């Protein structure tokens, strides 16, 4: 299976080089870094490290992911791996995410920070509570068990085509999971490591970011729960 790696990045010049250096060779052939309006040297560092850099000036995590997918669509891969640019995810663990896809066991693989080893203080209390609430609502409404909404994930290109991703900001990760659940797309979780990020979180690092993300995540879950189920679903 051919993979593309998509990495949204906003002012991550201190970490993006480390992320790219740690990507295993077989996944490093096609790495797309989406510069989401950085004012530092993120784009230059990523380009010098061998990544394809595309620019998305409009703010929003989801926007950056969609721009990365648009770049990947020029030559659609078999699957896409997403991870953050702040070095909190461990790129060397990509094989864990790829294995269930290549074995035909799933079309969506979530790297669970809850099931894996977390560095003390890496996952903020508000993020832990948000994960707990969101995953229980997903189980209640869709009957699918998750433990995390982690950004480190892998998904087949065909599944991405079917879910028709649209969210442009905080709801991106949960949108993929609930839409996959609605459509009956098989998903699994694998434990992944998680460490303290380099720099400050754009979401859980501020009260405003935390509140906005929480509201959007809940909105996406309830919106999808109220939509009619597809035939046979």
Helical ranges in the chain per DSSP H: 16-21, 42-48, 61-72, 94-102, 125-142, 157-163, 172-183, 207-226
Q: pLDDT by residue (tens digit) across 86-121?
A: 999 999 999 999 999 999 999 999 999 999 999 999
What pLDDT does residue 232 have?
57
The CATH number for 3-226, chosen from 1.10.357.10, 3.40.50.720, 3.30.70.20, 3.90.550.10, is 3.90.550.10
Domain ranges for the chain: 3-226
Pick out the chain residues at pLDDT < 50.
233
Question: The tokens of 102 are what?
Answer: 């290549």
40-65 b/e (C-beta count within 10 Å ≥ 16 → b): ebbbebbeebebbbbebeeebbbbbb
> What's the pTM value of the predicted model, to 2 decimals?
0.93
């Amino acid at each position: 299976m051919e993979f593309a790696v998509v990495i949204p990045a906003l002012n991550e010049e201190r970490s993006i080089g480390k992320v790219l250096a740690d990507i295993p060779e077989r996944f490093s052939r096609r790495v797309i870094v989406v510069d989401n309006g950085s004012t530092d040297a993120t784009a230059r560092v990523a380009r010098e490290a061998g990544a394809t850099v595309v620019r998305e000036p409009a703010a929003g995590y989801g926007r950056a992911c969609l721009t990365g997918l648009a770049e990947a669509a020029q030559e659609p891969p078999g699957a896409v791996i997403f991870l953050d640019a702040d070095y909190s995810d461990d790129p060397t663990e990509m094989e864990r995410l790829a294995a269930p896809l290549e074995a035909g066991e799933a079309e969506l693989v979530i790297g669970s920070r809850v099931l894996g080893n977390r560095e003390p203080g890496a996952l903020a209390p508000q993020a832990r509570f948000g994960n707990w609430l969101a995953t229980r609502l997903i189980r209640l409404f869709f009957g699918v068990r998750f433990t995390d909404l982690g950004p480190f994930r892998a998904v087949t290109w065909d599944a991405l085509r079917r879910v028709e991703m649209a969210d442009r900001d905080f709801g991106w990760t949960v949108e993929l999971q609930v839409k996959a659940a609605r459509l009956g797309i098989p998903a699994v979780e694998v434990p992944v490591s998680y460490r303290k990020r380099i720099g400050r979180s754009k979401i859980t690092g501020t009260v405003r970011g935390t509140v906005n993300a929480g509201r959007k995540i809940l909105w996406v879950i309830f919106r999808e729960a109220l939509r009619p189920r597809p035939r046979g679903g």
